[in-house]
Amino acid sequence: MQIGMVGLGRMGGNMSERLRAAGHEVVGFDNDATKSDVGDLKGLVEALAAPRAVWVMVPHGSPTTSSVHALAELLSPGDVVIDGGNSRWTDDLEHANYLHERGIGFVDVGVSGGVWGKTNGYALMVGGADPHVARLMPVFTALKPEGDFGFVHAGGVGAGHFAKMVHNGIEYGLMQAFAEGYELMAASEVVTDVPAVVKSWRKGTVIQSWLLELLDRALDADDDLSALRGYAEDSGEGRWTVEAAIDNAVPLPVITAALFARFGSRQDDSPAMKVIAALRNQFGGHAVTAAPGMVEKGADAPGADVTPPPIG
């Protein structure tokens, strides 16, 4: 099958190579001219035979919207656009409607697999109309892992990215659990070889998983993770998962806590914890740790007033 690929970064580039290895013809375009097969989107569309299929693999938000709108002006009725980035599912509805007005189909695909997908295959969560999905099955089959798993037609437009959003929310929770378990063992004096414990869990335990294997690999390279800073960004999907939970009145305490833990990781000196420290000092005379250049306060230190305020 012939397909266009817009965006040839780590994901788009590797997916293109996997598709070519499976015998498909890929015409790629990227803003980096050294990676492109064509000079621009117009050239990409002209290189494809109708009915065309163009896969967009660029960052979510305005880059994806700009790409979809540009393709809408170049493609023809009967063509189909696939968004395989990390778009929000509500954006899919807008993009699908925009393309539908021009007779162009739209399919959203949540893609998981990261840098390992080229070799192991990509898990694909697909949303879209049955005829569009059926037409693209040769591409999906080439990208997915071998066997019965790794692909789902989750529903109509938006369902693929909604499923991927929930997938990433679960991922947040799993990673946070591994992180907390690691920190507890490292902080105790009971376990003397934390990396060895993690490695032992890889077989025969109920928590054996790919994430656990990746943690083991990281500890093999840096047994106390001293080369890393404890700072974690979020791609946005964790936030969207929590927002969807609020919209549907579904409790997500683990995923929400994992998201907030990432926010906490970005604070060098937490304003909230300053308030907690100040309050403990005020009501109980508990010692506080001073900021650089300041004097620490304890129960007997000047300014550590523990006299209860008047009531009323």
Active site residues per annotation? 164, 171
Structure-block tokens of residue 232: 């974690």
Least Cα distance to 85 among 113, 63, 56, 118 occurs for 56
Structure-block tokens of residue 125: 């969560």
Least Cα distance to 162 among 93, 116, 96 occurs for 93
Task: Reduce the DSSP state of residue 177 to 3 states and report it.
Answer: helix
Distance CA 36, CA 28 (A): 5
Least Cα distance to 180 among 252, 254, 100, 116 occurs for 254
Q: Which helix (H) or strand (E) holds 196?
A: helix 194-200
- Give the Cβ contact number of residue 147 at 10 Å: 8
Give alpha helix (H) positions in 29-80: 41-47, 62-74
Structure-block tokens of residue 153: 């037609």
Between vectors from CA 237 to CA 102 and to CA 123, what angle results, nearest 5°? 75
Torsion of CA 266, 271, 274, 275, to 10 degrees: -140
Distance CA 110, CA 131 (A): 19
Least Cα distance to 23 among 111, 143, 113, 186 occurs for 143
Integer CA distances (angstroms), 220 to 175, 194, 204, in order: 18, 11, 20
Distance CA 305, CA 28 (A): 69
